[in-house]
Each structure stands twice: as structure tokens, then as C-alpha cells.
Amino acid sequence: MGTPQTPHHETTAGRHNGGMPTTLAASSAPAGHAAAVRYLVGEWFAQHRRELPWREPGCSPWGVLVSEIMLQQTPVVRVLPRWLEWMDRWPDPAALAEAPTADVLRAWGRLGYPRRALRLQECARALVAEHEGAVPADEESLLALPGIGTYTAAAVLSFAFHRRATVLDTNVRRVLARVFDGMALPPPHLSRVERDRADALVPADPEDAAVWAAASMELGALVCTARSPQCQDCPVVRLCAWNRAGLPPDEHSHLRRRQAWHGTDRQTRGAVMALLRSEGTFSHGQLIARIEAPAGQVDRCLLGLCSDGLAVRVEAEGTRYYRLPE
Ligand code: SF4
């Protein structure tokens, strides 16, 4: 397959549908190999992108922000029903800011890492207090909000406001490490070299930049997955260094922290939160009896949940009770 030196592109008018453009324009492509990768991934995206409500033309910046927080640790299929419910109930920051925290944690359900729900409500309150209830369109203001880090700020700038930003999540890092470095997975920590390369790949045109961000993420989510990449369906298979090298093993595997689940505090915290969400208030004795974990671990998790603001301890008639915060 030859590298497309003069790829055809749609006209600017054809790329706009009122929301995020779906194809890349011809402007400012980097030279050679990188240009070909970007072009092919963009073409693939135009054909294979999933229709998701936070990508629709009418989606507000708040909807984009909520989707990005939910998607940080959770796959699309689990996020989708929660996001729809959430936006129906709290369509703007002001609505979420006023909601009882217990309702917010219940609505978060089993998306996992429920501290995200608390941060999202804190973020909504900050938006009301400092930005008249609107999501700001500049990086500095976004980064100053609770729960918003470099990745989320870039994603909101790119997807909600079509500003040029380097959106570098784990999916994109994996795709770039495979295609350009011939590695199974990127190093555990993001390096300056990786960030500089990702910056260089971002098209100059802000709308193209948004397409490239979404397209490279989508390729990582659907085709170039962590465990079973579908190289036979990949638009850049013939340009991919890792594929050409015969898919060598992960050279950083000894540096990665294994994410065990069974028997961990994370599992126990999840079990406690599930009970508090579904059935309200429990005495300490009831929790010890119902959670399948050693009492010491349950106590440790209760302490952690209370200090994280996810649960509240109350004393009544000499008995300890736990419930969600109000
Ligand atoms: S060829 Fe395979 S490893 Fe390379 S980018 Fe495509 S799916 Fe990923």
C-alpha cells in the first residue's frame, strides 16, 4: 500500500454538520509517515465512528464534560445509559450543584470510582459560583475546576469548543506507541517525548484537531485494543511498527502495577457503597455481617469512604451507623 501523498479531502463546507466535523481537511498535515497515519485514521473514523449523544451537534459543553469524567475509567457501553439518565436529570451545572449528594452517588450507580461523582458535583458548584453556570472555554479556567486534569481539559476544549488541543488518553498513547515505536504498550508514565510527538501530530486547524483526537481514541477503543488488537481490520496495519515487528511482548511489563480486584479494598469499598446506595443506613454490625470481607478490612474501608466524603458516620444510642452524605 502506498503512502497517500496527495490525499483527497472533502471541502470545508462538506465537513460541517453543525456538530463535530467527521473528516479531516487537507490543511497542515505533517509530512510522510505521520501524515499517512493521520489521514488513514481520519478516513477510517469517517466510516466507523460510533454515534454517541455527546458527539451530537446539540450536546452542550456540560454534556461533553460529564461524558469525559464518566469515560475516564469506564467503557462507553456502561457510561451511555448513565449519561442519558444524568443529563435528563441534571441538564446543566446549576441543576447538579443543587442536587442532594446522596442522589448524585445513587445516580452514579456502578460506574466505579465514585469519587468522580463527588468531584463532578464540586465542579458544578464551582461553575455556578465562578462561571455563571457555564463551562469555560479556556484551559486555565478548566484546569482550576475540581476533578479536571490535563486530559479532561484538553478533551473539553477539543470536543466541546473545537479548540486545538492535544488529547492524549490511554487509547491514543497505545495506538501511537504501537504505530511509531513498535511497542506493545507505552511506558507506565507519560514521557516528554510522547507528549511532544502527540503535540506534533495535532492538525493546525482546530476542527481537524478535534477529528484527529476523536478518531485516534476511537481506533484505540474499537480496533487497537489493549488485549486483542484487530490488526486485520486496522487502517494503518501496513504502517504500524509493532505489527511489522511481529507483535513483540510488552517490554515494560515488569514495571506495571497489577490491578487485582478480588479481595482488595477496592472490591470491599464497592460492596459497602452498593449497600449504602441501595438500602440507606446501616449499623456497623450490619455492615460487618453483610460484607464478605474480614472485619478489619471493612473497618479500614469505612474509614476511607468517610474521609473521602463518600459516606457519613453517625452515632445514635451508642451505635455507629453509616449512610451516604446528604
Ligand atoms: S496494526 Fe494492529 S497494533 Fe498496529 S495500530 Fe493497527 S490494530 Fe494497533
For 106-110, 180-184, 206-210, 261-265, which range has the lowest pLDDT when averaged over its residues?
261-265
In the chain, the domains with their CATH numbers are 19-52+164-250 (1.10.1670.10), 265-323 (1.10.10.10)
Q: Which atom of ligand 1 is nearest to the CA of 235?
A: 6
Q: Is 175 in the pocket of ligand 1 (CB under 6 A)?
A: yes
Known catalytic residue at 68: yes
Best residue among 225, 236, 247 to mutate for probing ligand 1, ranked by most atoms within 8 Å of CB = 236
Residue 259, pLDDT score:
65
**CB 195, CB 240: distance < 8 Å:** no
- Does residue 50 have a pLDDT over 60? yes
Q: Is 179 in the pocket of ligand 1 (CB under 6 A)?
A: yes
Residue 23, pLDDT score:
54
User: From the CB of residue 275, how many other CB atoms can be counted at a distance below 10 Å?
Assistant: 16
Residue 160 Cα to ligand 1 midpoint, Å, equals 28
The per-residue pLDDT for range 217-229, each reduced to its tens digit, is 999 999 999 999 9
Residue 1, pLDDT score:
33
- Does residue 9 have a pLDDT over 70? no
- Does residue 10 have a pLDDT over 80? no
Exactly one of 68, 194, 207, 218 is catalytic; name it: 68
CA–CA gap between residue 291 and residue 109 (Å, rounded): 18
Residue 177 Cα to ligand 1 midpoint, Å, equals 10
Residue 232 Cα to ligand 1 midpoint, Å, equals 8
- Does residue 98 have a pLDDT over 90? yes
Residue 22, pLDDT score:
55
The per-residue pLDDT for range 237-256, each reduced to its tens digit, is 999 999 999 999 999 888 88
Residue 173 Cα to ligand 1 midpoint, Å, equals 12
Residue 59, pLDDT score:
96
CA–CA gap between residue 25 and residue 211 (Å, rounded): 10
**CB 146, CB 100: distance < 8 Å:** no
Q: Is 44 in the pocket of ligand 1 (CB under 6 A)?
A: no
CA–CA gap between residue 104 and residue 196 (Å, rounded): 38
- Does residue 214 have a pLDDT over 70? yes
pTM: 0.84
User: From the CB of residue 169, how many other CB atoms can be counted at a distance below 10 Å?
Assistant: 19
- % of the chain surpassing 90 pLDDT: 82
- Does residue 261 have a pLDDT over 90? no
- Does residue 25 have a pLDDT over 70? no
**CB 67, CB 54: distance < 8 Å:** yes
H/E run at residue 315: strand 312-316
Question: Between these two residues, 21 and 225, which has the higher pLDDT value?
Answer: 225
- The grid coordinates of residue 257 equal 502495577
- Does residue 78 have a pLDDT over 50? yes
Reduce the DSSP state of residue 282 to 3 states and report it. strand
